[in-house]
Structures are given as structure tokens and as C-alpha cells.
Copies of this chain bind each other. A is one copy, B any other.
Amino acid sequence: MENVKVERLLINYKTLEEFKLFKEYGIQELSMLEDLQSNMIENDSESPFYGIYYGNSLVARMSLYTISKKYDQYFEPPQDYLELWKLEVLYDYRGKGLGKKLVDFAKSYNLPIKTNPRINSHGFWEKMNFQKVHYDVERDLGENPLIWLPEGVEEQDRN
């Protein structure tokens, strides 16, 4: 698996069927399926998902969304940043660096990244050089966000 490539996933019935293999299949995917069925979006529209194919099969994916500077409560100076979620590598394809490939792809935009990881994945995120934010209940509520800072960006001081 040397030549893995991260691709932006297209919304179509094949992609949505493949998504069912991932644990965090949920309302986001169902919403995409409904939009496709009701022609609210076209077949093969671009989705907020990026993934890695092995042959013809999707084996890893993440969702990535740009949050506008005006909503930035995390970074200094305030700026557009990426929200990363649903990072997942299918069980049989773990331990091959595919998760890192996806994270490196997100980092390649050179924007700060925020993620709200699942319990028990902190070791992975630490290796990816993500750090815990200084928790702020009004901003973070039930989240335990981790952030990645590109050069020249700091965490916002909320005190």
C-alpha cells in the first residue's frame, strides 16, 4: 500500500453504500442519501468526505469542513480553519499509516485544524501533533477538542 492517494469523495449511491461499513455512519450520511434521492443534489456532487481507496473499495475516510473566520473561537489570529471528524480506517486496513495519510492531507491546507476525538484515540492524535485546548465550558460544552496549529498560529486566550 505504498501509493495510497487521498481523494475527495463524490456523493453517489456507491459511495453511500460503502459508508455503511464505517462505524460512525449516521445522520450526516442519511441526509446526503435523502438529498441525492430527492434530486436536491446531483449525482457525483462533491462531499465533505475524503477517503482512500484500495482497489475499488473505500477503506478509510474522514469528514472535513472549512469553518469561516467569523466563527473562529479557537485560533489567534482568528482565521478560517478546518473541522475534522469521522476519521476512520476499516479494521483490516489499520496499522498501515492510512489514518496519518488522511491527517497529513488535512494539514496540507496549512490551516489550523480542530477535531473532537472519540474516547481512546488520544494516543493517535498526540502522534499527529494535535494538542488539547484549554477547556472553556461556554465554548466547548461537551466537547474535548484537540487542535493542530500551523506555523505562526496560536491558541486563542479566552481569559
Q: Is A48 an interface residue (CB 8 A)?
A: yes
Asked if A1 is at the interface (CB within 8 A of a chain B CB), the reply is no
Complex Cα spacing A48 to B137, Å: 9
The yes or no answer to A123 lying at the interface (CB within 8 A) is no
A3 interfacial contact with B, CB 8 Å: no
Q: How many copies does the complex hold?
A: 2
Beyond A48-B137, A65-B137, A137-B65, whether A142 also contacts B27 by CB under 8 A is: no
A31 touches B135 (CB 8 A): yes
Contacting residues of chain A (101-159) with chain B, CB-CB under 8 angstroms: 116, 119, 132, 134-135, 137-138, 140-142, 144
Beyond the given A28-B142, A63-B142, please list 16 additional residue pairs across the A-B interface where CB-CB is below 8 A: A24-B119, A26-B144, A27-B132, A27-B140, A27-B144, A28-B137, A28-B144, A30-B135, A31-B135, A31-B137, A63-B141, A65-B138, A65-B141, A83-B141, A85-B141, A85-B142
